[in-house]
Amino acid sequence: MLSLVTQAVLRDEVDRVAAAVGVRVVHLGAAMPSRRAWSAASAVVLDQEAATRCGPDRLPRRSHVVVLTSVSPTAVAWQAGVAVGAQRVLALPADANELVAELAEACESVRDGGRRGDVIAVIGARGGAGASLLAAALAQSAGDALLVDLDAWGGGIDLLVGTERATGLRWSDLTQRSGRLTWPALRDALPRQRGVSVLSGASSGPPEAEVPDIDSGTVEAVVDAARRGGITVICDLPRAWIDPVEAALGTADLAVLVSPCDVRSCAAGATIAPRLRALNPNVGLVARGPAPGGLRAAEVAEIVGLPLLSSLRADPRLAQRLEYAGLRLHRRAPLALAAGRVLAVLPERKALVS
């Protein structure tokens, strides 16, 4: 991190915040930075005087530039910030937490080459459609991933992936927290299995324990932390139009509707598809067998009115295997093949927009 701060009080605060984040500070004081040093730093912090001095030099526009003041920012401070291309004007020590979040995000961007992770939201056309199963398969197929269970009454996706006994944070822990999250800290705190971090409700507990309300702000913070960490996020959604569901759909790069190949599921899917499209234009269908009446996957997609991403043929032994162990994907298994086809759509997701 590059620091152009000459005030002793502000400089001490910068050092304290940087130590908390774990970032090394290069203090230039009143010296002018080279264009190379300016662009290469993970973040740049300036006091008002430095921002005023650097503004006319037309340094390259970049992210994570912050102007610091020791009092409430004035109009002059904001003008200096605009001139230098700053995204934030913060007063220290009052805004120290916001500076911590800004520097943490800058460090994550450098660590992951600036790459942001993709988000896929999965929802069933009806209950029992297999949305949770596909969500778990997508997470395992994506490699390093975060699987987010947004169905507080669904029994817990941790039973499906085998993390029900693992220690770590659940929704009841996170819903009591606020503020921006960092992915390394979140990953270390969550249960993890086969390369997948899992955020779910508690699958067991005392009878009097309440099912926690999942806050949409917390959902957005969790998803944003993983995205900034370059992690693929898979959200398993309930069939309920509540704020957290709409938040997940709104931030998703791709929404997937899972529909069995039967008439009732097609009718339900045709009802829910327009609502999904209203929240996210990038929506596709996975048609899941068996087909008791002979409906083909292409016919299901035509009835529902969504592009077909993949078909998923029935695996009669899968249900029995899941009763005794968490999901273990085999490379040539139907579920793994379907998950691979869905993940392959992500670079081409704009093609789904009608």
pLDDT number for residue 212: 61
pLDDT number for residue 353: 45
For the entire predicted model, the pTM comes to 0.69
pLDDT number for residue 161: 82
pLDDT number for residue 324: 67
Taking the C-alpha atoms of residue 46 and residue 184, their distance in angstroms, rounded to an integer, is 27
List the one residue out of 239, 237, 192 whose CA is nearest residue 219.
237
pLDDT number for residue 204: 54
pLDDT number for residue 233: 96
Give percent helix, percent strand, percent coil of the chain, each to the nearest 5: 45, 15, 40
Task: List Cβ neighbours of 259 (8 Å cut-off, separation of 6 or more).
Answer: 124, 125, 126, 129, 265, 266, 268, 269, 285, 286, 287, 288, 300, 304
Local mean pLDDT, 10-residue blocks, the chain (354 residues) = 90 90 87 81 91 80 88 88 87 90 77 72 93 93 92 76 83 65 84 89 56 78 85 93 89 94 96 93 93 92 96 77 72 88 76 46
Q: What is the CATH number assigned to the segment(s) 2-111?
A: 3.40.50.2300
Residue 304's Cα: distance from chain center in Å? Answer: 28
Taking the C-alpha atoms of residue 9 and residue 169, their distance in angstroms, rounded to an integer, is 38
Cβ atoms of 169 and 189 closer than 8 Å:
yes
pLDDT number for residue 111: 57
Architecture of the CATH domain 119-352: 3-Layer(aba) Sandwich (3.40)
Q: Which pLDDT tens digit goes with each residue over 31-50?
A: 888 877 887 788 999 999 99
pLDDT number for residue 276: 94
Domain with CATH 3.40.50.2300 in the chain: 2-111
Q: Which pLDDT tens digit goes with each residue over 197-225?
A: 999 886 555 544 455 678 888 888 889 88
pLDDT number for residue 113: 53
Q: String of b and e for 167-176 (b: at least 16 CB within 10 Å)?
A: ebbbbbebee
Outline where DSSP puts E strands in 34-141.
44-47, 65-69, 88-91, 119-124
Domain with CATH 3.40.50.300 in the chain: 119-352
